[in-house]
Each structure stands twice: as structure tokens, then as C-alpha cells.
Structure 1
Amino acid sequence: MRSVFYAVFFLLCATLTQAGVVAKVDVSEQKMRVYSNGKHLYTWSVSTARKGKWTPRGTWSAKHLSRHHKSSLYNNAPMPYSIFYSGNFAIHGTNNISRLGSPASAGCVRLHPEHAAVLFNMTRNVGLKNMKVVIRD
């Protein structure tokens, strides 16, 4: 049974890295690796959920983009270059760049604004259905 699990896991990973743009977030490392058509392009520091909050794990397609988004839940906090993937959860830029590389968010995946702009434009170029978000421990 274990060998079947690993075979499916590796097939899924191979498929995802071939699907346009893939942003793989490793919560334990606080890193995002970005792939385009299976080729690794970038590794960036991120901030995921701080203590008492949760960043959901799983795989999603991008749902919608918002260039100048402001949080309706957190005092209109700026969320530039937002890529929403699950409900109110998004990958977005932050002005709190000193915290990148450590848990600091309310659940979203925060990036340096320059990196968020790159990922946002890549997503816009390939289309929402061709951008995958993978978040794991």
C-alpha cells in the first residue's frame, strides 16, 4: 500500500510542476518555490500563520486576482498583488518584510511585494486555472 501511495504522490508532483505556474509553500521552512512549466525559477522567503492562526494545507488553483486588495478582516491592511486560492486565503505582498522567513500572518502566505508582483504577473499571463498553489508542512 505504501508503494502505491508514493507512486501517486510522485505522479501528482510531476503533474503539478508541468501545469503552467506552481507555487509550492513549505510551512516548516517558510519558503516558496515557484515553477513555470516544470522549471524551478525562484525560491523566496514567506510568512505563513503565526501562533494561534492557521494556513490551510493542500492544493488549489488560483481563484481570483486583486492588484490593490485591502483586508476586510484586518483593518484594511494592504494586500498588494493578491492571488486568492481558498476563500479568504491568498498569497500576497506585505509591507512587513522584516518578518519574512518566520510565521507572522493571520493565515495568508505573505511575500516581499516585489516577489508578489512577479508571481501575480506570471499568474495573470498563464491564467487562473493554470496556476497551482501547493501548501505543505
Structure 2
Amino acid sequence: MNRILAAVLATAMLFLTPVASAAAPLVAKVDISSQTMTVIHNGRVAYRWPVSTARSGKWTPRGSWGAKWLSRYHKSSLYNNAPMPYSIFFNGNYAIHGTNQISRLGRPASAGCVRLHPDHAAVLFRLTKQVGKRNMRVVIQN
């Protein structure tokens, strides 16, 4: 009986996790297929921005995470000190961050991170600091 209850609870958690994620005060929802980010602040759509996710041969992870750490003036240790302003790290070396390759926004171009216009990255960074990392979710889906 305990195994059945555990299985039912585990199944319920699989279906309810996206709902719980969307309930955070700040959600950065990335749609890989449209190369867009929708920022939901306090339950309302606050912004929609073009992004760049992984180019061919690279991978942007799918799923839901909390913000792990922030770095205002980050430079990539993996890609020749490439500037990553307003970085919000959510999964290992993966982050949402500003880019100087603005003309490539709206189509896949990154090594796996989610790139934003630096002005938009600054807004998201500020909002994340305002609500706190524990209250920010990154949701990436196809």
C-alpha cells in the first residue's frame, strides 16, 4: 500500500512541478522553438523578449530551475573570456545573460546559454535581485 501511495505522489509531483514553478514571483520562461523569453512578474506577463539559445551542435537544457547565483560582470571561463553581463546562473555553467551579438537574437546562436539584449538582461537581473534568487524560476521548454 505504501508503494502505491508513493507512486501516486511521485506521479502527481511530475504533473504539478510546472504549475508550482509558474507560481514563483518571477519566472523567466524560455520557448526554444520561438526563441523568445516571457517574463512573468507577480503572475502577470511583464516582458517578452527575443533570445538566442543553443546553435546547431550545442544544447540548451530543458526543465525548471531556481536561480543559483548572479554575476554582474561575468566573463566565460569556457569561451575565451566572452562577456556575459548580468548573468543569472541556473544549472551548472548555464546562464541567462546579456550578449554583444544583438543581431543574432531571435535565432539559435549560443553555446547553450540563454542570451538576451544587455538592456533586457539588466532588467531581469534587477528583478531577480529584487525578489531574491529563491523566488526566481527559469523554465525552458520547446
Cα drift, residue 12 of structure 1: 4.1
Alignment partner, residue 92 of structure 1 = 97
Question: What corresponds to 2:111 in structure 1?
Answer: 106
TM-score of the pair, normalised by structure 1: 0.91
1:134 paired to 2:128: no
Q: What's the TM-score once normalised by structure 2's chain length?
A: 0.88
Please say if residues 22 and 36 of structure 1, whose CA atoms lie closer than 8 Å, have aligned partners that are also in contact: yes
Gaps of 5+ in 2: 1-10
In structure 2, the residue matched to 1:38 is 43
What is residue 22 of structure 1 aligned with on the other side? 27
User: What letter is aligned with 1:104?
Assistant: A
Instruction: Count how many residue pairs are aligned between Structure 1 and Structure 2.
Output: 132
For residues 19 and 80 of structure 2, the distance between their equivalents in structure 1, rounded to whole angstroms, comes to 40
Aligned residues of 1:17 and 1:37 also touching (Cα < 8 A)? no
Task: Give the number of the structure whose alpha-carbon radius of gyration is greater.
Answer: 2
How far residue 20 of structure 1 moved from its aligned partner, in angstroms, is 1.2
Partner of 1:81: 86
Root-mean-square deviation (Å): 1.7
What percent of counterpart residues are identical? 68
Runs of 4+ in 1 over 6 A off after TM superposition: none
3-state secondary structure, aligned to 2:28? strand
Distance 1:125 1:78 in 2: 23
Name the CA distance, whole Å, in 1 between partners of 2:140 and 2:80. Answer: 26
Give 3-state SS (helix, strand or coil) of 1:56's partner. Answer: coil
Rounded Cα–Cα distance in structure 2 between residues aligned with 1:39 and 1:18: 11
Equivalences for residues 38-77 of structure 1 within 5 A: 38-77=43-82
Gaps of 5+ in 1: none
Q: What is the distance in 2 between the residues matched to 1:18 and 1:115?
A: 22
